[in-house]
Amino acid sequence: MTIRASHGSTAFIFLTVLLDTLGVGLLIPVGPRLVASFLGDALSAASRTFGFLFSLYSVMQFVFAPVLGGLSDRFGRRPVILVSLFGAALSYLASGLAPSLAWLFAGRIVAGATGASFSAANAYVTDVTPPEKRAGAFGLIGAAFGLGFILGPAVGGALGDAGLRIPYFVAAALNFVNLLYGAFVLPESLPLEARRPFSWRRANPLGSLENLGRHPIVLGLTGTMACSFMAQMILQSVWALDNQTRFGWSLREVGLSLMVVGVSTALVQGALVRAAVPRLGERRSLVLGLTLATLGYLGFAFARRGWVMYASLIPLALGGLAGPAIQALITREVGASEQGELQGSLNSLQGLTAIVGPLLGTALLARFGPEAAHPHVAGAAFFAAAAFDLLGLALVGRVLAAIPKN
């Protein structure tokens, strides 16, 4: 038996994802300065150290997402989510109290490991939502990402003016409050008869990705999702530096543009997906979303004026139709006892692209972006992002032909 979503449980999962994303964003404005405070305020050294600190979150997600997903298939979603919230709160508290860099790294390791609770959260959404409504539910989760993307840096910057450690204490308090809230309102979504034994072989990152091959349709759709992840990570890694270099944007203008990205993402994921996908269907929504996202990336690549970047955000934001649609299609192919493992594999894959994508994006920018480069290709990283989405479109065309239409 599967429970259906209540307003309380749905709000809790939304808030959990929002806080996870918010926690990542809080670090962006204050993290480099806090790191510099341990290095004699040497900004160059702090920049390199912060880069390692920031990427550590993605590394830990890559490692732990399938573990938490598998544990949620064995013990249920509720205990995994609540323990993850407790760990996240402790990680922020440790970072706020950090007397040395070692504490910051330890806090980031715990934050990345517990941030992998996305696996259990997405599996919970799958458990409590009928297949025909899953795209809308995953869209709501996407809206939480968008809001966290807006609020995180803004809140972190505002609180950081009062003290570099205050954002960490606020993040810890919010997670503790959410933990108490969840302890009272969050029911278990996975019945005992749908659970399966935990396997370390299937829970390690490579093993979890290998397990996707047991479902050919899932494997094909996952390839498309990986391409989409890569495009997004390339965008995130070069957006600020590319726009400052090509168009002379100030930090304020970069911040404003990121706010527009967050707002548009939240609107599409939170509202448009729930209205459009039931009418278009998951297949059309996926193809349309990937096509629009590709056009957005190409718009960034060809842009010669700053306003074109804003105009190109429109098709890119509408491309957000693809993510919830493909998530819904994938969950249809896997049984209830494997949803946690599936979500763990997908989040591990996202963590891997969060490591590789920025390396590729920044390397392309460094190689082809400078005026003196031969050849000089302004927007080279965005051409690569468009290419990944085009590859995703090619893959999905073959996969959808093998899925029976409902």
**What is the pLDDT confidence band of residue 384, given thresholds at 50, 70 and 90?**
very high
pLDDT surpasses 80 at 4? no
Tokens of 27: 């670090």
pLDDT in tens, 353-381: 888 888 898 888 888 878 887 888 888 99
Residue pair 109/90 in contact (Cβ under 8 Å)? The answer is no
Average pLDDT for residues 220-233, to the nearest whole number? Answer: 90
Q: Which residue has the higher pLDDT, 189 or 47?
A: 189
Window from 2-16, 125-139, 166-180, 358-372 with minimum mean pLDDT: 2-16
65-74, 150-159, 282-291, 323-332 — most confident range? 282-291
- What's the pLDDT at 1? 40
pLDDT at 338: 74
Looking at residues 226-235, what average pLDDT do you find? Answer: 92
Evaluate if residue 11 carries a pLDDT over 50: yes
- Under CATH, domain 7-185+200-400 is a member of which superfamily? MFS general substrate transporter like domains (1.20.1250.20)
| Structure confidence at residue 331 (pLDDT) | 85
Could you read off the pLDDT of 35-62 as tens digits, one per residue? 878 887 665 566 667 767 777 887 888 8
CA 345, 348, 353, 354 torsion-angle sign:
positive
Using CA atoms, how far apart are residues 24 and 12, in angstroms rounded to an integer? Answer: 19
Q: Is the pLDDT of residue 334 over 80?
A: no
* Contact between residue 305 and residue 247 where contact means Cβ atoms under 8 Å apart: yes
Residues 250-260 have pLDDT tens digits of: 867 877 887 78
Does the structure show a pLDDT above 50 at 32? yes
pLDDT digits (tens, 9 = 90+) for 292-333: 999 999 999 999 999 999 999 999 999 999 988 988 888 887
* Amino acid identity at 47: S
Q: Which long-range contacts (CB under 8 A, 24 or more apart) does 279-282 make?
A: 280/321, 282/135, 282/325, 282/326, 282/328, 282/329
Q: What is the mean pLDDT of residues 105-131?
A: 82
Above 70 in pLDDT, residue 402?
no
Q: Would you state the torsion angle of the CA atoms of residues 251, 254, 258, 264, taken in this order, to the nearest 10 degrees?
A: 140
Helix boundaries (H) for 133-165: 134-160
pLDDT at 2: 44
Query: What's the DSSP call for residue 404?
Result: P
Where residue 76 falls (left for φ over 0; alpha for ψ -120 to 50; beta otherwise) is: left
First to last CA, the chain: 23
d(CA 84, CA 284): 36
Count of CB atoms situated within 10 Å of the CB of 383: 18
Cβ–Cβ < 8 Å for 60, 347: no
Q: Which residues contact 400 (CB under 8 A, 6 or more apart)?
A: 283, 286, 287
Query: Which is more confident, 391 or 184?
Result: 391
| Mean pLDDT, range 252-271, rounded to an integer | 82
Average pLDDT over residues 141-166: 80
227 near 290, Cβ under 8 Å? no
How far CA 26 is from CA of 150, 241, 255, in Å, comes to 10, 20, 14
Question: At residue 237, does pLDDT exceed 60?
Answer: yes
Average confidence score pLDDT of the chain: 83
**pTM score of the predicted model:** 0.77
What are the domain boundaries of the chain?
7-185+200-400
Q: Where are the beta strands (DSSP E) in 156-266?
A: none
pLDDT of residue 43: 56
Whole-number pLDDT of residue 212: 67
